[in-house]
Amino acid sequence: MMRLYDYYDSGNGYKVRLLLTQLGIPFEHLEKDILKGETRSPDFLTINPNGRIPVLEVEPGLYLSESNAILIYLSEGTEFLPEDKFDRARVFEWLFFEQYSHEPFIATSRFWLRHGFAKQKQQALQEKQAPGYAALEVLEKRLKDHPFLVNDRYTIADIALYAYTHVAPQGGFSLKKFPAILSWCDRVSNQPNHITIETAMIETATIEIAL
């Protein structure tokens, strides 16, 4: 059975959990507490020298890291990744957009706000507002005329972008001005075998006010 080294609060981990579930692949979940440095231990660094979750042990002793690389690996040959070469490239384009232009602003802000770094990171949080909203604008623009990001069907591009977008308010980013994103979030959460990120949405409001 595949084994997932994960951290429940992580959107990157959630991407992999969600796809594994939707593919019907059973897996063992191993929780690693980022805040306690459990991904920087010598043991963990042998499975991912970059010291991050998620890591998927696809076979005993064979470890794959980088959430979006894991999504591609798992989805090849399935309905979650298009067969057409250019459509597939479009999916990859969104995956790299997510890791470079979206995650470092929205996910990092969310992490700081949820784990008590709001005061210490006040200036950095402010600086992440503009690029974070710019990423949301790019998404909104695309989703205004399309039900999903690529080829008008649900793919790993949607999974990758949904992971931190739907909890963006927890990072201090309001989605109120992004109706297309909100509709898309509904569509994604209504896909067969959807699972939630398991975070209490009640925290959102508190954090938005706090910021």
Among 6, 9, 57, 66, binds a copy of itself (CB under 8 A): 66
Residue 129 binding a copy of itself, by CB under 8 A: no
Q: How far is CA 124 from the centre of its chain?
A: 21
Say whether residue 130 binds a copy of itself (CB under 8 A).
no
Task: Note whether 180 binds a copy of itself by CB under 8 A.
Answer: no
What CA–CA distance (Å, rounded) separates 21 from 2?
12
Considering only the stretches 86-94, 164-172, 181-189, 196-204, report the one whose residues sit in contact with a copy of itself under the rule CB under 8 A.
86-94
Environment class of 155 (CB within 10 Å of its CB; exposed 0-12, middle 13-18, buried 19+)? buried
Closest to 6 in 3D by CA, of 53, 38, 48: 53
Cβ atoms < 10 Å from Cβ of 81: 20
Structure tokens at 158: 């949607």
Stretch that binds a copy of itself, among 24-32, 70-78, 111-119, 178-186 (CB under 8 A): 70-78
Nearer to a copy of itself, 95 or 167 (CB): 95
- Residues making contact with a copy of itself (CB under 8 A): 49-50, 58, 62, 64-70, 72-73, 76, 85-86, 88-90, 92-93, 95-97, 99-101, 103-104, 138, 141-142
